[in-house]
C-alpha cells in the first residue's frame, strides 16, 4: 500500500476509534497489540496488509470489515489457512507457523507415511531457503518456510529412525534461517523462538556444531531485544565451551567458522554496551581465527572469514561512534563475493559513518546503493531508518527528491 493509502487508512482507523470513544491504549488492549502499534497505524507508518489483522482491527472498532477497508478480500485460502493477500516484505506466514505445533495430527495419531524419496526434495528446499535469506528476499522466504517447516516437522515424526537425524539437521538449518530473517526484520521475539527450536533440532540430529550455530542466532535475537546481559552470557558460554577444542592445529575449519562467528557476535554485544576495549579484543580474536582459515567460507551459512571480520569491524566501529575508523577499515575492502545481505549491511554502516561525520551526500549515496541491492533490509533495519530520518531532519525543506523518496519508501519521514 502506498504512503497516501496508508495515511488514508490510518485516518479512517482514528476516526472510527474516536467515534467509539476509545483511547489508543484501549483499542490496543482489545486487539492484543500495543498502543504504539495503533499510533503508527493511525499515522500511516505501520501498514496493515493481512486479512486476519484487518478483521481483528475491525472487531476492535466494532465495525464490519467492509467499513474499515472496503477493498479487502473477503475470503481465506482453504488450502493453506491464510489470506489471499500476498505477503509483502514480512514473515507473517512463517510467524504463524511457529506460533503453534506444525504436526498435531501426527502427535494425536502416530503414523508412518514418510517416503524415502522425499529427503532429496527437502534438502533442495532448505538450500533454497538459505539462498532467499542471503538474497534479501523476505517475502519469498516467508512463503517457503511457511510450507517447508510443517513438512519437516511432520517428517521428523513419521520417518523411520535411520532418516531422522538428517531431517532434524535440515529442520535446525531451516529454523536458523528463520531466526536470521526475523532479526533482520526486527522481529526479535520470533527470532528468539526460532533460534531455540534450531538448537533443539540440532541436538536431536546429533549435530554438535549446529547447536552452537543456534546459540549464535540466539545471541543476535537477544541483541535486538536489548537484553545484552543474556546475549553476553549466551555467547561467552558457547565460546568458553568451544575454546578447549578450537586451539588445536587439527581443529576442523567448520568449527573455526563457528568460533570466529561467536567472537563477532560477542563484539556486537560489547559495541551496543559501549565497551571499546572489549569490542577490540573480540574483533582481534576473530581476526586470529580468520587468519588460521585463510579464506572466506560459508560454513553453516555464517559467511565467516577474513572479509566478514572486517565488515563486522566496520559495524562495531560505527556503533561506537568511531566513524573515521569505520571508513578507514572499509577503504580497501572487497565484498564482491559476499551475499547481497552482507554487502547491503556494509553499505548501510558506511552511510551511518558518513552521517556521523556530517558527510550527508556520501551518506545518502551509500543508503541508496544499499536499498538498490537489498530494499527489504534497508526498509526494515532500525539503524538505517534512523539514519534516513536524521538526514531528513538535517535537510529540512531543502531535502532532495532522492532523499524524500528514500524516506517515504522506508517509512522514515519523521
Q: 3-state SS of 360-410? A: HHHHHHHHHHHHHHCHHHHHHCHHHHHHHHHHHHHHHHHCCHHHHHHHHHC
> Is there a contact between 239 and 262 (Cβ–Cβ < 8 Å)?
yes
All three cell numbers of 181: 530473517
Instruction: Name the packing angle between helices 323-330 and 306-319 (round to 10°).
Output: 160
Residue 130's nearest CA partner among 198, 223, 222 is: 198
Supply the pLDDT for residue 104: 83
Residue 89 buriedness (CB in 10 A; 0-12 / 13-18 / 19+)? middle
What lies within 8 Å, CB to CB, of 53 at 6+ separation is none
Beta bridge partners of 77: 82
The helix-helix angle for 276-293 and 306-319 (nearest 10°) equals 170
Per residue, the 3-state secondary structure of 42-76, as one string, reads: HCCCCCCCCHHHHHHHHHHHCCCHHHHCCCCCCCE
**Residue 83 phi/psi, 5° resolution?**
-80, 165
Taking CA atoms, 150 is separated from 94, 175, 182, in Å, by: 10, 11, 18
Question: Which residue ranges of the chain lie beneath pLDDT 50?
Answer: 73-89
Q: Confirm if 151 and 200 have CB atoms less than 8 A apart.
A: no
The predicted pLDDT at position 237 comes to 97
- Per-position b or e across 192-212, b if 16+ CB within 10 A of its CB: bbbbbbbbbbbebbebebbbb
Residue 118 CA, chain-centre distance (Å), reads 29
Mark 350-379 as b/e (b = at least 16 C-beta within 10 Å).
bbbbbbbeebbebbbbbbbbbbeebbbbbb
CA dihedral 78, 81, 84, 89 (to 10 degrees): -160
284 near 310, Cβ under 8 Å?
no
386 vs 192: CA distance, rounded Å: 24
Find cell 472487531 and name the residue.
Answer: 59
Query: In this predicted structure, what is the pLDDT of residue 90?
Result: 55
Grid cell of 149 as nine digits:
517447516
End-to-end CA distance of the chain: 19
Q: Are 221 and 182 in contact (CB under 8 A)?
A: yes
Cα 343 to Cα 38: distance, rounded to the nearest angstrom: 34
Partners of 83 in the beta sheet?
A: 76
CA 259/CA 236 separation, integer angstroms: 11
Q: What is the pTM of this model?
A: 0.78
Strands (E), 271-390: none
As beta bridge partners, residue 76 has 83
C-alpha cell at 369: 546503493
Distances in Å between the Cα of 318 and the Cα atoms of 214, 268, 350 are 26, 11, 8
pLDDT tens, position by position, 235-292: 999 999 998 778 888 899 999 999 999 999 999 999 999 999 999 999 999 999 999 9
Q: Whole-angstrom Cα distance, residue 204 to residue 182?
A: 23
Amino acid at each position: 500500500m502506498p504512503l497516501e493509502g496508508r495515511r488514508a487508512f490510518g485516518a479512517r482507523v482514528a476516526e472510527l476509534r474516536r467515534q467509539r470513544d476509545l483511547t489508543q491504549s484501549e483499542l490496543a488492549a482489545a486487539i492484543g497489540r500495543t498502543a504504539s502499534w495503533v499510533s503508527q497505524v493511525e499515522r500511516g507508518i505501520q501498514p496493515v496488509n493481512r486479512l486476519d489483522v484487518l478483521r481483528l482491527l475491525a472487531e476492535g472498532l466494532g465495525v464490519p470489515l467492509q467499513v474499515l477497508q472496503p477493498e479487502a478480500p473477503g475470503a481465506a485460502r482453504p488450502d493453506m489457512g491464510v489470506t489471499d493477500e500476498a505477503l509483502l516484505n514480512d514473515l507473517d506466514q512463517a510467524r504463524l507457523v511457529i506460533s503453534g505445533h506444525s504436526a498435531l495430527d501426527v502427535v494425536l495419531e502416530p503414523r508412518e507415511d514418510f517416503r524415502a524419496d522425499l529427503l532429496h526434495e527437502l534438502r533442495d528446499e532448505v538450500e533454497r531457503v538459505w539462498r532467499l535469506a542471503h538474497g534479501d528476499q523476505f517475502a519469498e522466504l516467508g512463503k517457503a518456510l511457511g510450507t517447508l517447516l510443517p513438512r519437516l516437522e511432520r517428517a521428523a515424526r513419521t520417518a523411520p529412525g535411520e532418516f531422522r537425524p538428517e531431517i532434524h539437521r535440515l529442520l535446525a538449518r531451516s529454523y536458523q534461517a528463520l531466526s536470521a530473517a526475523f532479526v533482520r526484520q526486527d522481529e526479535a521475539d520470533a527470532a528468539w523462538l526460532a533460534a531455540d527450536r534450531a538448537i533443539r533440532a540440532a541436538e536431536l540430529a546429533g549435530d554438535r556444531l549446529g547447536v552452537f550455530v543456534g546459540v549464535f542466532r540466539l545471541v543476535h535475537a537477544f541483541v535486538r531485544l536489548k537484553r545484552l546481559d543474556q546475549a553476553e552470557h549466551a555467547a561467552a558460554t558457547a565460546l568458553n565451551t568451544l575454546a578447549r577444542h578450537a586451539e588445536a592445529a587439527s581443529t576442523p575449519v567448520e568449527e573455526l567458522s563457528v568460533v570466529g562467528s561467536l567472537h563477532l557476535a560477542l563484539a556486537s554485544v560489547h559495541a551496543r554496551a559501549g565497551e571499546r576495549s572489549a569490542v577490540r579484543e573480540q574483533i582481534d580474536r576473530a581476526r586470529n581465527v580468520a587468519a588460521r582459515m585463510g579464506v572466506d567460507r560459508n560454513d553453516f551459512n555464517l559467511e565467516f572469514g577474513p572479509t566478514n571480520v572486517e565488515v563486522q569491524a566496520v559495524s562495531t566501529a560505527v556503533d561506537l561512534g568511531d566513524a573515521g575508523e569505520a571508513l578507514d577499515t572499509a577503504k580497501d575492502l572487497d565484498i564482491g563475493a559476499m551475499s547481497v545481505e552482507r554487502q547491503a549491511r556494509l553499505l548501510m554502516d558506511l552511510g551511518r559513518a558518513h552521517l556521523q561525520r556530517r558527510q550527508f551526500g556520501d551518506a545518502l549515496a551509500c543508503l541508496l546503493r544499499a536499498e538498490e541491492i537489498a530494499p527489504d533490509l534497508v526498509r526494515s533495519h532500525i539503524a538505517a531508518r534512523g539514519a534516513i530520518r536524521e538526514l531528513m531532519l538535517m535537510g529540512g525543506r531543502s531535502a532532495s527528491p532522492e532523499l524524500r523518496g528514500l524516506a517515504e519508501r522506508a517509512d522514515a519521514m519523521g
